[in-house]
């Protein structure tokens, strides 16, 4: 039997209460969570109401003066211990998130959990370099400071709860802010484990808080509060618009990392084996990856060969239980998302599109969808223009570079991209794609020092490196003149 106010997941008991001011706090209201692997009910999670939001904001405010007064060097040991405590819970985090969000267990073990630890450690170390940055001019010495901003609200999505929570928490805490994390309601459990790790690491009460709940109520109450200094959100465009409206009323800075409809360009001089292998990776996490290159744009002269090579790889993909080592494509998170994905494909076919493979539910289970490729599309088709967020790719062909660029830049999104071709050629073309980042002859290479984010409907702001600290800090210039200063109306 699970402990009171816990759910039992594959041998692990996970607390389902909020974490506020260093203590677990229950609620009279709860919401259900289900396992996407087999739709079984995992249990109930405490739902944040106004009183929980108020308590979390008060706790974060009260903890801010002492936490922000520490230097980056003084905060470093806390965050090092936090990363260590995350590492101690590695297998628990892997198992729970695989059951809660349907993410491949192998990917959790070899990619996500090591990255989660790195997210905390790297930003804690990088903060040491941002204490004071001098700028020397003819008139004055400038000392540029990154001062803590205040209470930061962090809202993360269900497709990567652990990785994206730590990706935001790392710089927010290292910069000296106190934080309130609102987990995704479809996959909240690893965020609760992050609270246990923070408690074990000795983070002072109120520095890190977790308030669970539904976005339209709990999330809305957090983002509209004028005491919040920063809001960092990853998720959908419609939700981001609501957050931006609420934040705008209080002039609170927002970082919004949103959807993608990224081009995957295959040039005539591309390594087709490499391009096909990378294209098959776009079905990873059942296509629930915002930065995936979901629009295959292939030179007409190599399209048939490319499709044949990719088909052979896709036919070999193992769709199934994400807890099995051999599985390569797992479930879609929720029945509503399955219907959304199926609707995109069905409407495309009715509109005259051709299915090259896939196109419907997978026999493995109700929340599994076949890896799908759709072609014979019009540029204004919704499946070309809008994010599907499932294992569905589209295929279009082009005859020259200008047409490739026109197709690549034809949507309202601009998050990522991929370009395969002879390196010089592919690099030159990649520079013309309107997007926040683009990989040449590769995919998924990430460095915490590099900027990450999109343009157009794919978001506002950049995360990573100095960009994260610029968002989570108040930048202050301390100006000391080199010569004696005498005030006059000439000085402006």
- Active site positions, annotated: 257, 290
Enter the tokens of residue 322: 């994400």
CA-to-CA separations, 330 to 37, 286, 321, 369, in angstroms, rounded: 8, 6, 6, 9
How far apart CA 25 and CA 429 sit, in angstroms, is: 54
Task: Give DSSP secondary structure letters for 230-283.
Answer: EEEEES-HHHHHHHHHHHHHTT--EEEE-----EEEE-TTS-HHHHHHHHHGGG
Task: Give DSSP secondary structure letters for 441-457.
Answer: S-S----TTS-B--EET
Alpha helices, H only, 360-452: 382-385, 401-408, 423-430
3-state SS, residue 164 = helix
Given a contact cutoff of 8 angstroms between Cβ atoms, the answer to whether 330 and 321 are in contact is yes
Crossing angle of the two packed helices 113-126 and 72-88, in degrees rounded to 10: 170
Task: Give DSSP secondary structure letters for 80-102.
Answer: HHHHHHHHHTHHHHHHHHHHHH-
Q: Shortest CA distance to 218 belongs to which of 169, 264, 139, 153?
A: 153
How far apart CA 413 and CA 434 sit, in angstroms, is: 9
């Amino acid at each position: 039997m699970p402990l009171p106010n816990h759910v039992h997941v594959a041998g692990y008991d996970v607390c389902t209460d909020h974490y506020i001011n260093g203590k677990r706090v229950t609620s009279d209201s709860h919401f259900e969570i289900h396992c996407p692997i087999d739709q079984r009910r995992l249990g109930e999670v405490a739902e944040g109401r106004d009183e929980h939001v108020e308590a979390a904001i008060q706790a974060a405010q009260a903890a801010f003066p002492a936490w922000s007064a520490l230097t980056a060097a003084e905060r470093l040991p806390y965050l090092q211990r936090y990363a260590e405590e995350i590492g101690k819970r590695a297998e628990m985090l892997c198992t729970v998130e695989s059951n809660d969000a349907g993410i491949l267990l192998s990917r959790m073990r070899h990619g996500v959990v090591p990255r989660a630890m790195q997210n905390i450690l790297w930003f804690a170390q990088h903060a040491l370099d941002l204490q004071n940055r001098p700028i020397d001019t003819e008139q004055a010495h400038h000392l540029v400071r990154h001062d803590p901003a205040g209470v930061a609200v962090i809202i993360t999505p269900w497709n990567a709860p652990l990785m994206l929570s730590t990706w935001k928490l790392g710089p927010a805490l290292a910069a000296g802010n106190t934080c309130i994390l609102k987990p995704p309601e479809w996959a909240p459990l690893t965020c609760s484990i992050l609270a246990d790790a923070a408690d074990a690491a000795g983070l002072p009460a109120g520095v890190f808080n977790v308030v669970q709940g539904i976005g339209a109520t709990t999330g809305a109450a957090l983002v509209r509060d004028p005491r919040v200094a920063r809001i960092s959100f990853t998720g959908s465009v419609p939700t981001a618009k609501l957050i931006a409206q609420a934040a705008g009323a209080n002039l609170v800075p927002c970082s919004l990392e949103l959807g993608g409809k990224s081009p995957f360009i295959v040039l005539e001089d591309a390594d087709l084996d490499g391009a096909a292998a990378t294209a098959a990776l776009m079905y990873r996490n059942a296509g629930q990856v915002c930065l995936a290159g979901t629009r295959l744009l292939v030179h007409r002269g190599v399209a048939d060969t490319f499709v044949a090579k990719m088909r052979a790889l896709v036919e070999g993909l193992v769709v199934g239980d994400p807890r099995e080592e051999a599985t390569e494509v797992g479930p879609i998170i929720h029945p509503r998302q399955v219907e959304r994905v199926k609707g995109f494909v069905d409407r495309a076919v009715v509109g005259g599109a051709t299915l090259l493979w896939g196109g419907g539910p997978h026999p493995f289970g109700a929340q599994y969808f076949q890896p799908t490729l759709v072609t014979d599309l019009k540029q204004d088709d919704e499946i070309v223009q809008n994010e599907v967020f499932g294992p569905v790719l589209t295929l279009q062909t082009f005859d020259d570079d200008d047409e490739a660029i026109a197709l690549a830049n034809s949507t309202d999104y601009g998050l990522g991209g991929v370009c395969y071709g002879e390196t010089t050629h592919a690099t030159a073309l990649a520079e013309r794609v309107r997007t926040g980042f683009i990989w040449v002859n590769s995919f998924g290479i990430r460095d915490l020092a590099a900027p990450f984010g999109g343009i157009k409907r794919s978001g506002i702001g950049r995360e990573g490196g100095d960009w994260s600290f610029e968002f989570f800090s108040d930048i202050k210039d301390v100006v000391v003149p080199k010569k004696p200063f005498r005030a006059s109306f000439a000085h402006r």
